[in-house]
Chains A and B, each alone.
Chain A
Amino acid sequence: DSGVTQTPKHLITATGQRVTLRCSPRSGDLSVYWYQQSLDQGLQFLIQYYNGEERAKGNILERFSAQQFPDLHSELNLSSLELGDSALYFCASSVEVRGYEQYFGPGTRLTVT
């Protein structure tokens, strides 16, 4: 158990819909990362927050957005869902913004039908 929690564990929804994935980092970690993992793409970095502020942006689509709240939990919002958005979405947390190991949550498996 990494100490990072993600909800829900599974999510099945239809194309065009909007979903919100939630992540609670390890106690004391200020940095949260979001990743997308699909079979043919490996682990794709989406976005990073540190203490409520966006710090790095990766291959995140405009239909996707995220935020980190004052209590440090983070939410990833996915809208206008397409079949290709079906993937495993991981949240990870670390102590600082740079140079520290990331602790991954169990992931949310999103299936878009």
Chain B
Amino acid sequence: GQQVMQIPQYQHVQEGEDFTTYCNSSTTLSNIQWYKQRPGGHPVFLIQLVKSGEVKKQKRLTFQFGEAKKNSSLHITATQTTDVGTYFCAGRGDTGNQFYFGTGTSLTVIP
């Protein structure tokens, strides 16, 4: 079956350092979404990427969809304590309606 893996599983950074999480799918995705879940909270939608090679930016966050539409990345520049949480990617296959959530990357920012 389809699998979406994320690395790393955990990341601890000093405040001000950059952070990147990578998402890899076993099959081609029609689109990919990113969500953030704060500790004790629920996932919150961040962005959706649809086109091959697409890059989108939200302030300090940069999202990228791979050329082959099988991988994606989220990069945070100069992390802040407010960035703490678990970041999930979620990909939809070329057929069907199901979204496959990645395993998540838990980010800890040390002040």
List residues of chain A with CB under 8 Å of any chain B CB.
Answer: 2, 33, 35, 42-45, 48, 50, 55-58, 90, 92, 97-99, 101-107
Interfacial residues of chain B within 27-52, with CB under 8 A of chain A in the complex: 30-31, 33, 35, 41-45, 48, 50
Given known pairs A42-B104, A43-B104, the reply for A101 and B97 (CB within 8 Å) is no
Q: Is the CB of B44 within 8 A of A104?
A: yes
* Distance of A3 Cα from B104 Cα, bound (Å): 24
Is B45 in contact with A48, judged by CB distance below 8 angstroms? Answer: no
Do the beta carbons of B43 and A55 come within 8 Å of each other?
no
**With contacts defined as CB atoms under 8 Å apart, how many contacts are there between chain A and chain B in the complex?**
56
Contact check, B42 vs A99: say whether CB atoms are below 8 A apart. no
| A contact face: mostly helix, strand, loop, or mixed | strand
A57 and B97 CA atoms in complex are apart in Å by 9
Chain A residues within 8 Å of B98, by CB: 45, 48, 56-58
Please pick, from A56, A103, A105, A106, the residue contacting B97 in the complex, using a CB distance under 8 A: A56
Map CB proximity to A onto B69-111 as digits: 1 under 8 Å, 0 otherwise: 0000000000000000000101010001111111110000000
8 A–B contacts from the bound complex (CB under 8 Å): A43-B43, A43-B104, A45-B100, A45-B101, A56-B98, A97-B97, A98-B97, A102-B33
Task: Given A2-B42, A43-B43, A90-B43, verify A102-B104 contact (CB < 8 Å).
Answer: no
- Categorize the interface residue count of chain B: 20 to 34
- Enumerate the 3 nearest inter-chain pairs by beta-carbon distance, A residue then B residue, closest first: A101-B45, A43-B101, A56-B97
**Interface SS majority for chain B:** strand
Q: A43-B43, A43-B88, A90-B43 are in contact. Are A102 and B99 (CB under 8 A)?
A: yes
Nearest-CB residue, chain A, relative to B103: A42
Q: Tell me if B101 and A42 are in contact (CB < 8 A).
A: yes
Q: Which residue of A lies closest to B102 (CB)?
A: A42
B42 touching A106, Cβ below 8 Å: yes
B41: A residues at CB distance < 8 A: 106
Q: Min CB distance, B5 to chain A, in Å?
A: 10
Minimum Cβ distance to chain A for residue B51 (Å)? 13
What residues on B are CB-neighbors of A102 within 8 Å?
A: 33, 43, 45, 90, 99
